[in-house]
Amino acid sequence: MGTRVGREVQVFEVGKLYVAPLGPAEAEPLYHFLRGLFEGAGSRYELQRGSYGREVHRTQIYVQDMYQFARSRLGSPLVICEPEGEPISRVGGEFPASC
């Protein structure tokens, strides 16, 4: 999973990606996820460098506690991706178009 996420954030040249656990996280799964992020972003970055005719920016990856992350950006818009719950494709029709 981390490899796929890493590739995607690098494809779109996201400036910074913050992995922000909410509370304690088990070290081994977090390690594997982070390792995958770096592998995916790194491999995509190398492809971009070789094929793009312009300078490519590498996505910076950070780990920070969710509470401190949100607190340090008080008043700024945040995009938070939560892996729990139903996929958007299943619940997309349940909300009015104005949402």
Q: Convert the pLDDT of each residue in 34-57 to its tens digit.
A: 999 999 999 999 999 999 989 999
pLDDT tens figures, 53-78: 899 999 999 999 988 988 898 888 87
pTM of the model: 0.72
Distance between CA atoms of residues 51 and 8, nearest Å: 17
Q: What are phi and psi of 19, to 5 degrees?
A: -95, 115
State how far the Cα of 54 lies from the Cα of 45, in Å rounded to an integer.
Answer: 12
What is the spatial distance between Cα 64 and Cα 96, in angstroms, rounded to a whole number? 34
